[in-house]
Amino acid sequence: MPKLLGFIIVTVIAYFIGYSSGIGNQSPKYGDSGFPKNCRALISDNLKSFAIDEYTAEEALFSIERNCGPNGYIWDER
């Protein structure tokens, strides 16, 4: 039981530290031009555009990969 309690305490503390200092995706952020500045905003915009048939699924996924993938353009915008 003490190990489980210790694990839960460490997990909760790590979660709150990670959430507060995260990688900048806690909330959608947009630049002065209105374009998404972080992955959360980009994914949200892509889903909305796909829902209204502005983009195909392939175009939306390619945009997410290009901007939020391992070498994505948005990662420098923190």
What are 8-21's pLDDT values in tens digits?
A: 888 888 777 766 65
Domain region containing 66: 2-76
Q: Is the pTM of this model over 0.85?
A: no
Q: State how many domains the chain has.
A: 1
The pLDDT confidence band at residue 47, using thresholds 50, 70 and 90, is: very high
Give the residue-averaged pLDDT of 55-61.
93
Q: Where are the alpha helices (DSSP H) in 22-78?
A: 39-51, 57-68
